Amino acid sequence: MSKKELTLASEQIYHGRAVRLRVDTVEKPTGRRTTREVVEHSDCVAIVAVDDQNNILLVRQFRQAICKDLLEIPAGSIDPGECPEEAVRRELQEETGYFPGKVERLAGFYSAPGYSTEYLHLYLASALSPHPLYAEDTESIELVRISLDRIPGLISSGEICDAKSIAGLLSFTLKQGGGHTSGAKNKVVKD
């Protein structure tokens, strides 16, 4: 078991619309002092949406950080005062134009714990019905339906290459019995 670092000081150096950046001065268990840059981001939802033909609803959108389009599962931030299930319904409507009749928690995980506080709540959305909810930043998102049997190939080819989508789709595949486990059930709990 690793030993904790002691935070000696913390300074917020940037506060933006979506993220804040802080620099922590820490003391390692060895006594050595160093700094940690931490991106503070609100919790988010990531959604594996399945239609009645067993297609997965993905979205293709441009990502400025890497300057290219990515094929992803729908996702977005949880608004203040909103529970994850409400965020799933809102985000799915905004990004795909579908409202889920059924929402089920699959898992949860940290997106990049080496430098970010962001925690993603992963949900399965099904019993979908058309019900658009428009948001100003979703006009360039393209809805893409992919049959479930094509997903492993899209992951292995690199066409689906973001961590939340890979984790979400593999979690869904395991839940459906498409993967093998050792029989032990591990539960990750957010602190």
pLDDT tens string 39-65: 999 999 999 999 999 999 999 999 999
Give the domain CATH number at 155. 3.90.79.10
Asked if the structure places residue 63 within a domain, the reply is yes
Shared-domain flag, residues 93 and 16: no
Give tens-digit pLDDT for 95-154.
999 999 999 999 999 999 999 999 999 999 999 999 977 766 667 899 999 999 999 999
What is the torsional sign of CA 36, 39, 44, 47?
Answer: negative
Query: Does 186 fall in a domain?
Result: no
Residues 36 and 51 in one domain: no
Q: Do 74 and 89 meet the contact criterion of CB atoms below 8 Å apart?
A: no
149 and 62 within one domain: yes
Q: Is residue 145 within 8 Å of residue 128, measured between CB atoms?
A: no
User: How far is the first Cα of the chain from the last one, in angstroms, to the nearest whole number?
Assistant: 17
181 part of a folded domain: no
121 and 155 in a common domain? yes
Residues 36 and 77 in one domain: no
Inside any domain, residue 191: no
pLDDT, residue 179, reads: 52
E strand spans, the chain: 6-15, 19-27, 33-41, 44-50, 55-63, 68-72, 75-77, 98-110, 119-130, 142-147
Residue 188 has what pLDDT? 40
At 116-128, the pLDDT tens digits run 999 999 999 999 9
pLDDT digit string, tens, across residues 160-186: 999 999 999 999 999 887 554 444 344
Domain presence at residue 187: no
Give residues with Cβ within 8 angstroms of 110, minimum separation 6. 116, 117, 118, 119, 120, 190
Which residue reads 């297609």 in tokens? 55
58 and 139 belong to one structural domain:
yes
Residue 121 placed within a domain: yes
Domain holding 80, by residue range, is 44-175
Quote the pLDDT of residue 178: 57
CB atoms closer than 10 angstroms to residue 168: 27
Residue 182 lies in a domain: no
Number of neighbouring beta carbons within 10 Å of residue 160: 23
Nearest to 94 by CA among 148, 47, 29, 146: 47
- Whether residue 153 sits in one domain with residue 126: yes
CA distances for 72 relative to 16, 17, 49, 104, angstroms: 24, 23, 11, 19
Does residue 183 sit within a domain?
no
Structural domains of the chain, count: 2
Q: For residue 10, what pLDDT band results from cuts at 50, 70 and 90?
A: very high
Is residue 108 within 8 Å of residue 78, measured between CB atoms?
A: no
Same domain, 88 and 139: yes
